Homo-oligomer: A and B are copies of this chain.
Amino acid sequence: MAGPPTFIAACRRQPVPYTPVWFMRQAGRHLPEYRRLRGEGSIMEAVRRPDLAAELTLQPVRRYGVDAAVLFSDIMVPLTGFGVEVAPGTGPVTNKPFREKADLDRLRVEEHPYVAEAVQLVVKESPVPVIGFAGGPFTLASYLVEGGPSQNYLSTKALMWRDPALWGALADRLASIALASLKAQVEAGAAAVQIFESWGGALSPAAYRRFVLPALRVVLDGLAPLAVPRIVFGVSAGELLALFAEAGADVVGVDWRVPLDVARQRTGPGVALQGNLDPAACLAPWEVLAEEARAVLAVAPETGHVFNLGHGVLPSTDPGQLARLVELVHAETAR
């Protein structure tokens, strides 16, 4: 077939033969082949081995026939010099959180050639486009300021409100770092990028607009010359969907809380939508899962829909369920 791959065409809101599918965290613990290969080692160590990262990226592509490969990596990789570790079962942690201006010195654009190498290896093998990714400004900042995962992001919000200048410098720096990482991934062959602004939904839309949107725009604008689809996704971010579109996303990722037709009203028709099955539905009996998937498709836009979960694949998910889900979406949307 001539023309762009199905996933890329859908991101551009072009007609597609069927709705493309991929899953956030499709390369992950729910796969027995992933657990065998990764073992119990640190994710950062695995990420630093291009052959291993490439293989982990390709596993779900082979098993599921999904329409995109998402690089096995971590949003904290570009912040290695800050002193962040990813603790198994916990997530990103640092014992030297961001507190003052001097901490900006630990935040520099870093080069991690192993990331580009992994992308190159995947591109060579993958029958489908490769998605690169980075963390959004609020999400990255939250780990640095809180020192780890958080429920309420109190220190992050306190910094934002107490010292808007320092906050702005932090957000800008993180935008530059994320942009550099995404550019490197695209130059190595990634055909699309996703910005995981996972925790941005902790802010009101007014606060997000004022304190984070300028930095998000820096990332999105900086990517524009590369002409790859730019996806922005957040959890509990229903009130930010219009802002993500306004900032320049080509595709807005939607969690399962917001029906796609409602999301469409908020973003307007100028972006594609990605999502949005509740990942917990994959733990339900197949007939229920099928019904839930059909309900997503029923309100999805006619053009410009990338099927995905509304958040990452849960570790307890049965791979057989995801395999049937890919088949169902492909079959029921065949045009």
The answer on a CB contact under 8 Å between A285 and B162 is yes
Q: Within the complex, which residue of B201, B204, B259, B283 is in contact with A259, where a contact is CB–CB below 8 Å?
A: B204
Return the chain B residue nearest A205 by Cβ: B259
Residues from chain B with Cβ under 8 Å of A285 in the complex: 161-162
**Majority secondary structure of chain A interface residues (helix, strand, loop or mixed):** helix
B256 in contact with A204 (CB, 8 Å): yes
Do residues A154 and B283 form an inter-chain contact, with CB atoms below 8 A?
Answer: yes
Q: Which of B154, B262, B278 interacts with A314 by CB under 8 Å?
A: B154
Quick one: given A258-B239, A259-B239, A262-B239, are A284 and B204 in contact (CB under 8 Å)? Answer: no
Contact with B along A254-277 (1 / 0, CB 8 A): 001111001000000000000000
A59 at the interface (CB under 8 A from B): no
A212 to chain B, nearest CB (A): 14
Say yes or no: A157-B283 contact (C-beta < 8 A), given A152-B314, A206-B259, A257-B204: yes
Q: Does A207 contact B (CB under 8 A)?
A: yes
Query: 19 other contacts beyond A157-B280, A157-B281, A161-B285, with CB at 8 A cut-off?
Result: A152-B279, A152-B314, A157-B283, A157-B284, A161-B283, A161-B284, A161-B288, A162-B285, A203-B257, A203-B278, A204-B257, A204-B278, A206-B259, A206-B295, A207-B278, A236-B257, A238-B238, A239-B258, A239-B262
Write the residues of chain A forming the contact surface with B, with a CB cutoff of 8 angstroms.
152-154, 157-158, 161-162, 201, 203-207, 236, 238-239, 256-259, 262, 278-281, 283-285, 288, 295, 314, 316
